[in-house]
């Protein structure tokens, strides 16, 4: 990892494009909000942002965040503050499959660094980048709570453990195939692989 002293957070713009959940999802959001007491509806922010990210394009655009703010009756800045704090919320368009490789100590001593290097080699991208075909985004993350079965990575919501370069290759192949079968843009999650 390079050390840069320049902090260059991207600038985002409000495009004003209308976004909305389907009635079904709205029901789900409402029942989520009911889990918290009167006046505590802001509590639903994290769960609702997870849903928004999943349902409304795979990342949290300003418009999506403004929509969530309106749903929960809070200021947009309160959503921006939260969305930028947590590492699972994406602020930019991601690949169909987001590969998050654990880089923390216990995984590293069981070969995690090699797994990351291997992924960089075969995908020809650096952590934080997306393949030109929009299928894979590579990310480094911290401990995934699966250190006994390292090296570990998470693809979307699925855990892949005890990785070897060979296993990674087979998985990538399978995912590529899977991505081709489905229309671009649809957000089918990865099926269990290993």
Partner 1 sequence: MLKVTIDNISIEVEEGTTILNAARKIGGKVVPPAMCYYSKLKGSGGKCRTCLVKVAQSCTKDTRPMSKLVASCSTPVQDGMVVQNLTSPEVIEARKGIVEFLLLNHPLDCPVCDQAGECDLQDLSFGYGMEETATDDERREYPMTDIGENIKLHMNRCILCYRCVYAADQLTDKRLHGVLYRGDVSEISTFINQSVTNEFSGNIIDVCPVGALTDKTFRFKSRVWFLNPMNAHRECTRCSGKVAAWMFGNEIFRITGRKDQFGEVEEFICNECRFEKKDINDWVIDGPRHIKRQSVISANHYEETKKQSLIDPIEGKMHEQK
Partner 2 sequence: MGEKILLANIDIPGIRGFDVYRANGGYAAVEKALLEMTAAQVSAEINRSGLRGRGGAGFPTGLKWSFLDRKSDKPRYLVCNADESEPGTFKDRYLMHHLPHLLIEGLIISSFTLGVNTCYIYIRGEFKYLVGILENAIREARQHGFLGEHILGTDFSLNIYVHPGAGAYICGEETALLESLEGKRGNPRIKPPFPAFKGLYGCPTVVNNVETLATVGPIVNMGGDVYAKIGRGKSTGTKLISACGNINNPGVYEIEMGLPVEDFIYSPEYCGGIARDKYLKAVIPGGSSVPILPADLILNTAKGEKRLMTYESLAEGDFESGTMLGSGGFIVYDEDACIVRNTWNLTRFYHHESCGQCSPCREGTGWMEKVLYRIEHGQGRMSDIDLLVRVAKNIEGNTICPLGDAAAWPVASAIRHFRHEFEEHVLHPAAVLEKERSLIKFF
Q: Which of 139, 140, 131 is nearest to 184 (CA)?
A: 131
- How much is the CA Rg of the chain, to the nearest whole Å? 18
Nearer Cβ to ligand FES (58/150): 150
114 near ligand FES, judged by CB under 6 A: no
Tell me which of 26, 30, 75, 105 binds partner 2, using CB under 8 A: 105
> How many residues contact partner 2, by CB under 8 A?
51
Q: Which of 53, 58, 59 is nearest to 10 (CA)?
A: 59
106 near partner 2, judged by CB under 8 A: yes
Per-residue x/- track, 149-188, ligand FES (CB under 6 A): -x-x------------------------------------
Q: Which of 76, 77, 82, 19 is nearest to 45 (CA)?
A: 82
Stretch of 31-39, 58-66, 72-80, 139-147 contacting ligand FES, by CB under 6 A: 139-147
Is residue 17 within 8 A of residue 63, CB to CB? The reply is yes
Tell me, what DSSP letter sits at residue 130? B
CA angle (139 as vertex; 132, 135 as ends), nearest 5: 30
As given in the structure block, the two tokens for residue 76 are 């947009």
Q: Which residues bind partner 2 (CB under 8 A)?
A: 1, 3, 35, 37, 39-40, 42-47, 49-50, 72, 74, 78, 81-82, 85-89, 103-106, 108-111, 113-114, 117, 141-150, 154, 157-159, 164-165
């Amino acid at each position: 990892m390079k050390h840069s002293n320049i902090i260059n957070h991207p600038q985002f713009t409000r495009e004003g494009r209308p976004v909305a959940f389907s009635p079904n999802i709205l029901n789900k959001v409402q029942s989520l909000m009911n889990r918290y007491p009167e006046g505590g509806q802001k509590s639903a922010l994290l769960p609702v942002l997870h849903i928004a990210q999943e349902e409304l394009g795979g990342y949290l655009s300003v418009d999506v965040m403004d929509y969530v703010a309106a749903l929960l009756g809070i200021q947009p800045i309160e959503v921006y503050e939260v969305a930028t704090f947590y590492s699972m919320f994406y602020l930019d368009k991601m690949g169909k499959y987001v590969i998050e490789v654990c880089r923390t100590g216990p995984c590293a001593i069981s070969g995690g660094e090699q797994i990351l290097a291997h992924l960089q080699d075969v995908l020809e991208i650096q952590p934080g980048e997306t393949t030109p075909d929009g299928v894979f985004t590579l990310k480094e993350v911290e401990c995934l709570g699966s250190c006994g079965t390292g090296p570990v990575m998470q693809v979307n919501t699925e855990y892949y453990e005890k990785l070897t370069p060979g296993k990674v290759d087979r998985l990538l192949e399978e995912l590529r195939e899977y991505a081709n079968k489905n229309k671009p843009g649809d957000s089918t999650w990865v099926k269990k692989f290993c």
